[in-house]
Amino acid sequence: MNGDLSSVLIALVFLLAVLQIIAKIFNKLKQPTVIGEMSAGILLGPSVFGLFAPELQQELFSQDVIMILSILSNIGLTLYMFLIGLELDFSYFKREQFENSVFVLIFGFFPSILFGGVTVYFLMGEFSDSIHPAIVVALFAGLAMSITAFPVVVRILSEKRIINTQLGVFTIMVAGMEDVVAWILLALLLSFVHDADLLKGAFTILGTTAFTLCILYILKPWLRRFGNKIEKQGKLSKNQFAAIILMVLGGAAVTDIIGVHTVFGGFLVGIAMPRKEILQREVSLRLEHLVVVLLLPVFFVCSGMNTNLIRLFSNSTFILPLIAIIAVSFIGKYGFSVLSLRKTGYSWRESSAISGLLNARGVMGLIVANIGLTENIFSDEMFSIMIVMVILTTLCASPIYNISKAERRMVFNRSGVSLKFKKVIRNLVMGSRR
């Protein structure tokens, strides 16, 4: 079977049917749909489907088909990250909560990256086939082990009907802030990845900086007027929707050319979009189902095709690194988040509940892991370990929240961090405004 249209369509029908079934099973188990989709991606890969029906698996997912599916998945990821940027509601970023969020970012998120990175650095003997320096692999792994799945956090809070409580708002604020910082760090890391040629490395760094400034200071003001026009019309026209798609794909193309992954371009355009009710609603209605139902599942399957758990578990050399990375990723993210949240005045139960949600990596972790594999930062074994880590930590998010008994009556504690730290943060903020 060649990689013609019929082959791709048959593969799409098969994978979408399987993903829907597995996702519904996980929904019955009170788990987010994304857990089922991630698990289904692995089931369709060499770990399960390829083990029991290797010929059929190769027939359905030939190299030609996988190549086309990979292109579709990258377009889907770009549109998905655009929607994530669009859904980031900056009204959550209340001034009185900003200091506590920065505290959690500094003493919860960054230590988690370093903790994970140091662990992977000392395990590099097991993954020595990477073409990049150990420090790059370690930092990339640390980021994958620390990123938060913003969509999963929002979905769980929404399902539990606490998204508009003070605890829910603060959790979204921290998750959103961590994700924005994570994508900035990812862009910087990718810039250094391409520094084999110093000139090319400098071009990537300068290009990323210039592109970001253009989006925020040239495109964003124009988009504000664009959004106001749509609000007056009361609807989004076809031409206006086409203009938005062109901006997203154009941004993705630019970031790809300058050496940063396409998802960063889509995310930045989403961030720049005005927070207008009609614009957000119309774009989400037209894009969300297509992306989430069709394109994103393709990404899960492509991830599963690169994940070979049989080879991973059959080699005793990788068992210890697997256990170590899973343990460190959980302890680091959850532990540092709990301790930093306690310092901001939350109770142990509240800190545990919020940290459990922040501990979910979800699609964000998969995206970082896939970029690591695409850029030859991660070996196949390292990639497989990261996929297992992402699934397990995301699987634990909702149960940890439930065990912590984070009920709606929990009250946000404004006692906050120490006065000394508040003064430091205030000075930093005032200094940046100047």
> Residue type at 261?
H
Domain range 81-303+315-433, its CATH number among 3.30.70, 1.20.1530, 1.10.357, 3.40.50: 1.20.1530
Torsion of CA 118, 108, 105, 113, to 10 degrees: 20
Helix (H, G, I), strand (E, B) or coil at 404: coil
Q: Where are the alpha helices (DSSP H) in 215-275?
A: 220-233, 238-257, 262-272
Q: Which of 90, 405, 60, 115 shows the shortest CA–CA distance to 276?
A: 90
Residue 54 burial (C-beta neighbours within 10 Å; 0-12, 13-18, 19+): exposed
Domain edges within the chain: 81-303+315-433
pLDDT by residue for the chain (434 residues), tens digit each?
A: 444 788 899 999 999 999 889 988 988 887 777 788 888 888 998 889 988 998 998 888 888 888 898 889 889 889 988 998 888 766 666 666 778 888 999 999 999 999 999 999 888 766 656 667 788 889 999 999 999 988 778 777 877 777 667 788 788 888 888 887 888 888 778 777 765 555 666 777 788 888 989 998 999 999 999 999 999 998 899 999 999 999 999 999 998 888 777 888 898 899 899 988 899 999 998 998 889 888 888 888 888 888 888 878 887 788 888 899 999 999 999 999 999 999 988 889 999 999 999 998 888 888 889 888 888 888 888 888 999 999 899 888 888 988 886 444 444 444 444 444 444 444 444 444 44
64 within 8 A of 7, measured Cβ to Cβ: yes
Rounded distance between C-alpha atoms, residue 168 and residue 162, angstroms = 6
